[in-house]
Structure 1
Amino acid sequence: MSSDLSTDPHPALARRATSRRWLPRSFYARAALILILPVVVIQLAVAVMFLQRHYEDVTIQMTSNMVRELELVRSQPDLASPLGIRLDVGPVEDHIRFWDLSARAMREQLTEAMAGIVAVDTVSERKTVKVGFETGMRMTFSRNNVSAANPHQLLVFMVATALLMTAISFLFLRGQIRPIRRLARAAEAFGRGESRSYWPSGATEVRAAGTAFLAMRARIERHMEQRTLLLSGVSHDLRTPLTRMKLELSMMDAPEAADLAEDVAAMERIINTFLDFARDEANDSKETVDALALLRGAVDLAAPGRDVPVAGQGAQVVLSPDGMRRALANLVSNALRYGARVRASVVVSENWVTFVIEDDGPGIPAEQRDAAVRPFARLDAARSNTAGNVGLGLAIARDVARAHGGSLRLGESDMGGLKAEIVIPV
């Protein structure tokens, strides 16, 4: 039965991921958004309430009081000067800035309360209001009589306070996220096989995560140490009887001695493979080496005297040369075991260096490639073990690649066989 690989098996998760694409990716940015968004909303709400209260209610109330004085001056012009109103004759153009909310409220109140007003000008003279009437009369008075002085002070204070508190919050938030970043760097270093010093710090939850990480790292290190001691001990103990068997076979003249010697040699290769798998060569001291020269050395180690072409460009990379050389040699040995023609190359990009080993053998089906890199995995169950194949070559290469922060990729070569790539960052 065929299955559609393009169908998402988890549509709910896909929709959830799509709905969150607008969110920042880092925890620092998301926490900052959670912190800033409520502050901005509160500031906007307070600002709107203040604007409505100040620019409408206060302005309308002060304008209503001013209307009484203007009406009094219209009926008794002699009172203009004592009331601070300049009375003269002249045209007035209706001119109010579009963002001047108090002026708009003032004009509406004036035109509603007084008859005969044709224009209101708040722009031609600073902090002055000119009112023109149908009769040609013009009244000029101070803007402070109809609106509060310096109405922007509260807004400036609100914005300055918000910026100051946001800066303080950013500094505090940065201090809270620093322990999380330290934990992430320690976990990343441990994944590469490095033991970086780390101690839990920060909030209670971060300390709990750090303590759990230290406990997990200690358990993994104990497990790796026990695995290494077990495989090393078993392999070392088997060398003594194998040496005696090789000595006895060399002294035998029986026809079966040659076949037995091949079996003993295969067992010795298996033991050496166990030791390679148990030896943590990727944790050796890292050095700056030439990638192309390293690949040539691995080819010479795995196939001495064989004509295996090596191509690519040289590049200086920092890695563990012993571990990487052994991993590449295992890939070359596997390629020579199953293919007649093998080629090796190095591909250098801006951020990655890729070691490529290709052959013309039967290859590995796509559905079996994940299983092929597991330790002791042999895809052909009927294949004999006398050739020394225990299914650790790809597992060693994968562990070495991961220890360098990279990966092992298996694909199909244009030669018809398997293409194995070790990709590491530079």
Structure 2
Amino acid sequence: MHATTSKTPNKSKASFKRLAANQSVWFCADACLKLRPGGTECKACRDACPVQAVRVDAGVVELAPACTGCGQCAAVCPSGALLAEGFDTLLQPLPESEAVPLLRIECSRVPHKLAGKARQLPCLGGISFSALIGLAARNSSAVALVDRGWCATCPSGGGSEPINALVDSVRATLTDIGLPDECSPFVYSLPTPQEQSLPMDVTADNTPLPRRAFFGALLKRTAEAAIAARSPDVARLAVKTTRGALLASPLIHHTRKRMASNLAAIAALTGKPLSAKFFPDISVSEHCLLHGVCAAVCPSGALAIARSGTSAGLHFDPESCLACGLCIRHCPTGALSMSPFGNATALHSRDGKQLNSFIQKDCQMCGKSYVNHGDGDTCPACLGNRNMAQSLFGMSLAESEPTAANLEL
């Protein structure tokens, strides 16, 4: 079984489908950076899979039966195109009756009698950076990821503990925002004999993995993306250019915005202004002619053409940016440059920034507004058509006119 995508992505909502029958990984082709028109060479999911069950190729993403359902592919997907069952409960707030000063997260192979009230997931390696940031933003409890020492021999562990580097990165980010160390997630080592672990195909209480909650979360995520597609903020993401029209993925936009909102919420808790260094930055040179190609290929809508009165220019939303580089690759004049991290000394603005501005005129031939770069009164499209017509008809006339040589004959 495999998932493919057409040249025209779904423009109304995110559509998740199973990557393979009887497997727990779901996929939204519209949000995949590899499959979108003009896409990148992203293969993060394939590289993260500990059993090499993911295949990413031109126009196709496949999942082999070897998949363990660990969710590590979904955890590293930068656009949110992958979902793994069993992780939907991670960000659910604790009921007041169950509030605890320390929220423990355990692997599903840990027996219930050992895990107790811990939240259990198919694999700790399936926890994403954004999920841990979300936990820090939504819960008053500290978070402990319990390491029983079983990762090294577990197929999903890939021979190493997949969580330590992630937790270190999250803690560094939270420290920069001003969150005290005691409030940041940490790895708690609790060595336990391997023989006490459960098989990988059952949960801690020896019942099949519950799926009702997952499907509820899946429908909610699809609905959120559909609502985002109709909102004024995302309506501007459809940018018409001389190369046609593309639409940014509402799912990618929503995924990035959710991450930004969590960072802003943590900054509000600490009372420390949010730095621009947590978001990518783009600059544009004087070579920009506002073709709009960059905005058209941007998968998240971070770049858009903003129009106001008689002026138009590029607007950049760092919160939505994936730093995928598509805009730079496709810019016809090479006017864009990007840094994956913004200026550490600058404060982040949730309103984004205007990169440039040009004066618009109405084309004397078609009547449409266009950015004027000279003294003419014709838009580039009409000018091109007129020049082509003159060239074609000029050649025809030249061929039909008698020459001196023909007259002599």
- Structure with higher Rg: it is 1
- What TM-score, normalized to structure 1? 0.23
- What TM-score, normalized to structure 2? 0.23
Name whichever structure is richer in helix by fraction. 1
Structure of higher RCO (CA pairs closer than 8 Å, 6+ residues apart): 2
